[in-house]
């Protein structure tokens, strides 16, 4: 049984190849993959061969945010054929110190689908067929599209980020960076009752999407940088900032716009950078990181399933797997693209 895969060999060396697919054993499920979103970390692997200390050291199948339909359930799995599911890529061990302390995000033996952190690498989801443990799949109700289902993973990241923040009521909030993560943070904030959310970005297209998803105001920091000045008066006017850009200028703006004793939630990731330490200390700022998710994955599936959060505005393009390179190049152009998804063949491999 053959399946096509999008395998990355190094920077800009992405190939669509075939390999053998495996049938499900006990507790497993075979999926016909449906839609898979290209994430920022996928782009770092594609353009740079990795990010920070994480490097692609052997060929890796890309992709960690995807949906699929059940083809075959292994022994002990009660999932009907054709059920639309999202696959959680996160596999904490459940036994280490941090898992035992209810911090599975920080598992010492984490397996994460589509990640080059470990060697051998954890192979990803950009393939036509994939067998996974049934405990990692979450089913959707009828009426949800395959593209929406594939947004469960990035929404889970954003729900976890919003959960790191203090009470949102009566807060003036800013989100820097209106890419897929910034937009889903915005959606999560609005869902949890945030009244005022200002979104900043460098492109009008991104800010158009932000307004469609509930931003109360937007600022194009490339064409109207002076619009930031009122937010920086009197030691800052913003109570809570989510930095989703991981760009040096945006982070410096965050430190000038945040009020004394305000909170910055760091969602975007990059390499080392210079930070305004004097502002961090002098304004007694809380600067908190946020990564991945755990229980939030099931929450994301529930919210998407009920359309309590509508993720459809972030999906800008869908391309078939055979055009994987074109999809990665398109996803790299933020002037026209937001969330670019791959789609997969829906053949019936078993009769």
3-state class (DSSP) for residue 317: strand
| One domain, residues 135 and 173 | no
Q: In whole angstroms, what separates CA 201 from the centre of its chain?
A: 18
Q: Please give the Cα distance from 36 to 151 (Å, whole number).
A: 8
> Residue 350 has what pLDDT?
41
| One domain, residues 146 and 283 | no
Examine residue 306 and state whether it is found in any structural domain, yes or no. Answer: no
> Residue 214 has what pLDDT?
95
Examine residue 304 and state whether it is found in any structural domain, yes or no. Answer: no
How many domains, the chain? Answer: 2
User: Going by DSSP bridges, is the β-strand pair 339-343/60-61 parallel, antiparallel, or unpaired?
Assistant: unpaired
| One domain, residues 118 and 219 | no
Examine residue 301 and state whether it is found in any structural domain, yes or no. Answer: no
On the 0-12 / 13-18 / 19+ scale of CB atoms within 10 A, 194 is buried
| One domain, residues 8 and 31 | yes
| One domain, residues 235 and 104 | no
pTM of the model: 0.95
pLDDT digits (tens, 9 = 90+) for 110-125: 999 999 999 999 999 9
> What does the DSSP assignment read for 213-270?
TT-SEEEETTT-GGGGGGGGGGG-SEEEEEE-S--HHHHHHHHHHEEEEEEEEE----
Low-confidence ranges of the chain (pLDDT < 70): 346-351
Q: Please give the Cα distance from 187 to 286 (Å, whole number).
A: 23
Determine how many CB atoms are found less than 10 A away from the CB of residue 223. 10
| One domain, residues 71 and 91 | yes
Examine residue 302 and state whether it is found in any structural domain, yes or no. Answer: no
| One domain, residues 147 and 166 | no
Examine residue 196 and state whether it is found in any structural domain, yes or no. Answer: yes
| One domain, residues 197 and 243 | yes
What region, left, alpha or beta, does residue 214 occupy, with left being phi > 0 and alpha being psi -120 to 50 degrees?
A: left
> Residue 348 has what pLDDT?
57
| One domain, residues 147 and 6 | yes
**In which domain, by residue range, is 333 found?**
2-151+311-343
3-state class (DSSP) for residue 211: helix
| One domain, residues 39 and 77 | yes
On the 0-12 / 13-18 / 19+ scale of CB atoms within 10 A, 215 is buried
CATH of the domain at 276: 3.40.50.720
Whether residue 244 contacts residue 181, with contact meaning beta carbons closer than 8 Å, is answered with yes
């Amino acid at each position: 049984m053959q399946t096509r895969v999008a395998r990355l060999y190094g920077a800009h060396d992405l190939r669509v190849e075939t390999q053998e697919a495996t049938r499900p054993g006990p507790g497993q499920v075979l999926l016909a993959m449906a839609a898979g979103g290209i994430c920022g970390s996928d782009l770092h692997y594609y353009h740079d061969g990795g990010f920070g200390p994480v490097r692609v050291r052997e060929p890796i199948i890309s992709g960690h945010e995807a949906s699929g339909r059940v083809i075959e359930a292994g022994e002990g799995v009660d999932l009907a054929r054709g059920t639309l599911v999202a696959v959680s890529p996160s596999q904490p061990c459940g036994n280490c110190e941090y898992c035992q302390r209810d911090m599975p995000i920080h598992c010492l033996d984490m397996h994460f689908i589509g990640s080059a952190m470990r060697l051998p690498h954890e192979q990803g989801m950009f393939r036509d067929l994939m067998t996974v443990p049934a405990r990692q799949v979450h089913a959707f109700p009828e009426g949800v599209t395959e593209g929406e289902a594939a947004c469960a993973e990035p929404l889970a990241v954003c729900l976890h980020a919003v959960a790191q923040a203090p009470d949102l009521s009566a807060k003036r909030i800013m989100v820097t960076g209106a890419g897929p993560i910034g937009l889903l943070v915005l959606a999560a904030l609005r869902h949890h009752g945030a009244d005022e959310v200002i979104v900043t970005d460098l492109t009008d297209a991104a800010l158009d999407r932000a307004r469609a998803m509930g931003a109360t105001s937007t600022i194009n920091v490339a064409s109207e940088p002076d619009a930031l000045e009122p937010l920086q008066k009197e030691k800052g006017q913003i109570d809570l900032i989510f930095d989703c850009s991981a760009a040096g200028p945006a982070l410096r703006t965050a430190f000038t716009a945040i009020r004394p004793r305000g909170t910055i939630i760091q969602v975007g990731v990059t390499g080392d950078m210079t930070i305004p330490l004097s502002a961090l200390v002098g304004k007694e700022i809380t600067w908190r990181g946020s990564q991945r998710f755990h229980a939030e994955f099931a929450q994301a599936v529930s919210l998407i399933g009920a359309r309590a959060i509508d993720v459809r505005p972030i999906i800008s393009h869908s391309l078939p797997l055979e055009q994987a390179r074109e999809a990665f190049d398109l996803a790299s152009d933020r002037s026209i693209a937001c969330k670019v998804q791959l789609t997969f063949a829906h053949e019936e491999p078993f009769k």
